[in-house]
Amino acid sequence: MQLNNNLQPLRKHSWTIWWELIRPHTLTAAFVPVLLGTVLANLEGKMNFSLFIVMMVASLLIQAATNLFNEYYDYQRGLDTEKSIGIGGGIVRHGMKPQLIMTLALSMYGISLILGIYICASSSWWLAAVGLVCMAVGYLYTGGPLPISSTPFGELLSGLFMGFLIILIAFFIQTGYVSSKATLVAVPSGILVGLINLGNNLRDHDGDKANGRKTLPIVLGPKKAIGFLGIMFAFSYLWLVGLVVRGIVTPWILLAFLSMPKAICATKGFMGKREPIALMPAMKLTAQTNTFFGLLMAIGLIFSKLPF
């Protein structure tokens, strides 16, 4: 590890630096989908606790590694500086070698692969292909010649692969199949994971535009992107109402509506602000909305199985 002049802060607070590097507020994008998929499987009478834990650890490692890839490649492309908001800052603030960050990320991927082998051996080897695609998307989000993070498709792909599909994988490894109910319940979670990405891109709009990126907020413009954020929040809640009306789930799932104040505050928090530091609270609220929405949905699904 190569240290800069801030030698004492790095030694004294090294654990906080490592914690910041994995960007813990984003780990909800891995935790919630695995939990939801497992709860949905439990409603079918299927539950293997060991598979649940292994799937959870693998998903968290992939998300953390994706954040480290982002740290590494944004530094390599000159996008991160000591003043950058929302980064781990291990390289530009604390003097860590870029190769150390990459080695850690690849190590996390390696552990995830080993865990993935166990999951496939316990369920189906067809999952290997799906898992590898999810890992590839995590790497290519900031790696490769044309990073996904530089295109308008970051929200779509992160929501699809880190939200929607993770729920279905977590469900499949427990049951051996994918039900229409699990697929429909997974939709709003996938949307909210994508919105975490949108919140991040709204915060970074000015810097990304200056560096030639074409993220969704840059293509739409900040005002329309904020409007889109609000519309997709509303769509996610209305989707649950639709599931209840059609009798696919019980009204207990509407406990997720208790997270709505956070969604409203997140949307309002982006309005009329441009400085990244001023947008940080709204970005965190977007991630918190996903967390509370997913946890409350899971609680509602569990309650729907109880005899009352």
What's the pTM? 0.87
pLDDT value, residue 11:
47
pLDDT value, residue 91:
75
Structure tokens at 5: 């002049």
C-alpha torsion sign, points 19, 22, 24, 28 = negative
pLDDT tens string, the chain, 308 residues long: the values are 343 444 344 444 566 777 777 777 778 888 999 999 999 999 999 999 999 999 999 999 998 898 888 888 887 877 666 666 655 567 776 677 888 889 999 999 999 999 999 999 999 999 999 989 989 998 898 888 888 988 999 999 999 998 899 999 999 999 999 999 999 999 999 999 999 999 999 998 988 888 888 999 999 999 999 999 999 999 999 999 999 999 999 999 999 999 999 999 999 999 988 888 899 999 999 999 999 999 999 999 999 887 76
pLDDT value, residue 21:
76
Query: Residue by residue, what is the 3-state secondary structure of the chain?
Result: CCCCCCHHHHHHCHHHHHHHHCCHHHCHHHHHHHHHHHHHHHHCCCCCHHHHHHHHHHHHHHHHHHHHHHHHHHHHCCCCCCCCCCCCCCCCCCCCCHHHHHHHHHHHHHHHHHHHHHHHHHCCCHHHHHHHHHHHHHHHCCCCCCCHHHCCCHHHHHHHHHHHHHHHHHHHHHHCCCCHHHHHHHHHHHHHHHHHHHHHHHHCHHHHHHCCCCCHHHHHCHHHHHHHHHHHHHHHHHHHHHHHHCCCCCHHHHHHHHHHHHHHHHHHHHCCCCCHHHHHHHHHHHHHHHHHHHHHHHHHHHHHHCCC
pLDDT value, residue 234:
98
Asked if 293 and 236 count as a contact pair (C-beta separation under 8 A), the reply is: yes
pLDDT value, residue 7:
37
